[in-house]
Structure 1
């Protein structure tokens, strides 16, 4: 009798055609497509658990999920077949066996996102970046970031009516990177609230464009009120980019 094994999948996806990660009724999602492909390959119903949700139109250059299967998996055959079944917007990059109690969501130590803003129209980035015709003051935005690194309660950047027990997050790093006609925001934390990164980017852009001062960031955070922060940046510029796990969970 075979014992159940647990596997982590690393994947990426272009979020444009999907209504986010999490499976829901009457809407196409990444989770639904992936579970359907895995169930087709294994000829058995497969359920997956992701490291976290992404909203409608948000992308992932790295997402992780886990599933259980009773047998050893031939990695080469599996990778070739599953990527052939999946739609072109989703790609599996790696499969690794992990300890039976390893959990894609709860065992993650760090999560990273980046957000891309471009300043001239680019047909190749139409669905992958926020087009802004106004150049913000990056130094002011980086100055405002300092408040993010010393605070822990980010209710002001969370979507309302979200099912969480608390709004505390530890932000380990955050910075803007300028490359020619592109500006990229990088942020890493132990966890993120729903809509948090897009709300932070939107608020920082208002600071960079002179609509608020860098000193306002601390006041916004301490207010714990979503209406005090800026408008959310468009979903299409956001990418889940890295999830870090302790090495001890892997068996291979």
Structure 2
């Protein structure tokens, strides 16, 4: 299958220190792209950059912090002269019955999952303008379509991401900027806290869960489509997962 050549294009990947973000960075560099790796963990980012070589660079940032995000995108613009792909991957999630949940966790979830997407997207748009095939791609969740018990706050944050992208797509489409969502089900990552020990692994094992590399392949597949093709939403679940 012949897809678009991605050589020498530039991406910013948030949450790049592990899981889906690290897998995405590896996949994009394998396509010949330049990738700015960002997350809060400098040591993990630097180790990944060393693995990936000269096409990878590091700018640590907490996506919930607007000043740090501004520095991240200023770095990307100065180093590469613009941006072709923003991959909003950073996020958090925790499990608890809502009545037992802690308001500090509500805030932390929305700061990372919603305001983090807002902050990064706001800074990225000026760098994406005028670049053929430019794309904003974000990780949402099947829990952003169907509420999941004990994940009420997380589900609410992902519903917000879905709505934001639906509106943003309509704002940016005439400029040629594509806006796309990847909405995974069960994936083997270090996502999630508040679960009983071993609970997530058992569930993932039972479902033959997706790997981080599966999501990375979807990202590359969507981004490598011709510039006039926008895979607006990609729902993906393990075959054995019949509901969120």
Q: Which has the higher helix share?
A: 2
Q: Normalising by structure 1, report the TM-score.
A: 0.24
Q: Which has the higher strand share?
A: 1
Larger radius of gyration: 1
Q: Normalising by structure 2, report the TM-score.
A: 0.25
Which structure has more relative contact order (CA 8 Å, sep 6+)? It is 1
